[in-house]
Structure 1
Amino acid sequence: MKPKHAVDCNFDPLGRCHTKCVDGSRLARSKAFAGIKLLAMGIAFLVGAHVFLITPKARAHDALPTAAQPQGWSYPFSCCSGYDCREVADNAIGERPEGYVIEGTGEVITYADSRIKNSPDGVFHWCSVAGANDGHTVCLFVPPRGF
Structure 2
Amino acid sequence: MRGFIFLLAGLSATTALAHDAPNGWQYPSACCSTMDCRKVAQNDISERPQGYIVRATGEVLPYADSRVRMSPDGEYHWCSASGKAYGKTICLFVPPRAY
**Same fold, TM-score > 0.5, yes or no:** yes
Q: Distance in 2 between matches of 1:89 and 1:127?
A: 13
For 1:5-84, list aligned pairs within 5 A: 61-65=19-23, 72-84=24-36
Equivalent residue for 1:95, pick from 40, 47, 50 = 47
Residues 45-91 of structure 1 deviation map (CA, whole Å, 9 limit, x = unaligned): xxxxxxxxxxxxx86610012xxxxxx10000000000000000000
Which is richer in strand? 2
Larger Rg: 1
Q: Which segments of 5 or more consecutive residues in structure 1 lack a partner in the other structure? A: 1-57, 66-71
Equivalent residue for 2:73, pick from 121, 127, 130 = 121
CA shift, 1:145, in A, is 1.9
Equivalent residue for 1:137, pick from 84, 89, 97 = 89
After superposing on structure 2, the runs of 4+ consecutive aligned residues of structure 1 that deviate more than 4 Å are: none
Q: Distance in 1 between matches of 2:30 and 2:38?
A: 14
Q: Distance in 1 between matches of 2:65 and 2:92?
A: 10
Aligned to 1:108: 60
* TM-score (ref. length: structure 2): 0.80
Letter in structure 1 aligned against 2:39 = E
Q: Which segments of 5 or more consecutive residues in structure 2 lack a partner in the other structure? A: 1-14
Other structure's SS at 1:73 match: coil
Other structure's SS at 2:43 match: helix
